[in-house]
Structure 1
Amino acid sequence: MITEIVEIRIKSKMQDEFIAGVEKSKELFERSPGFQNLELHRQIEDPEIFLLFINWDSVSHHMDMFRKSPEYQEWRGNVGHFFADTPRLQHSKTQLAY
């Protein structure tokens, strides 16, 4: 399992609409091969910044399958217009968990 971590700055006063767009996209992720789960976190110090954590079976499931799918295009249509700038994306693999 890998975790996709995306830091997203949302345009001012559009945070609630962004959250609704993520909720609207739930089924897009659920029907995507290799998807495990998703968490959306809102930064306390700067409420315009969100962290999206998505667990996938592999980087390939995210980058090669989901990102090239119609579901990805619909996902971006649901949330992309709320982005204040380009999201910062990275992948991680859990080394320790307690």
Structure 2
Amino acid sequence: MIQEVATLTITPGSEEDFEAAAAKAVPLFQKAPGALSWRLDRTIESPNEYTLTVGWATLEDHTVGFRESAEFQQWRELVGPHFAAPPQVKHVQHTYVGF
């Protein structure tokens, strides 16, 4: 499994609206081929910063399949207005899992 890890910086004061929009977007990811999991975490020290982690079966499921889909456009329409900066996205693969 590949994990997409995106750091999302949200316009201060719109965190609640962003969270509501992100919740509406979950079904878009559920429909995406190769999508395995979806998680949104808020940074305690910087409350307008979030980490979105999406599990994908393959890198291409995200970079080609999802990013070129209508669902991606809908995702961006829902959450994009709340972004204070472009998302910072990377892909990771587990190399070791402890307890």
- Tell me by how many angstroms 1:42 deviates: 0.4
Question: Could you tell me the percent identity over the aligned residues?
Answer: 33
- Segments ≥4 residues shifted beyond 3 Å: none
Residue 28 of structure 2 aligns with which residue?
28
What's the counterpart of residue 48 of structure 2?
Answer: 48
TM-score by length of 1: 0.98
Aligned residue number for residue 71 of structure 1: 71
**1:96 match:** 96
- Counterpart residue type for residue 50 of structure 2: F
Q: CA RMSD in A?
A: 0.5
Q: How many residues align?
A: 98
TM-score of the superposed pair, with normalisation by structure 2: 0.97
CA shift, 1:26, in A, is 1.0
- For the residue of structure 1 that corresponds to 2:67, the secondary structure is helix
Aligned-pair CA distance for 1:58: 0.8
- Unpaired runs of at least 5, structure 2: none
**Which residue matches 1:9?**
9
Aligned-partner Cα distance in 1 for 2:82–2:97? 33
- Unpaired runs of 5+ residues, structure 1, are none
Within 1, Cα distance between the matches of 2:38 and 2:22? 10
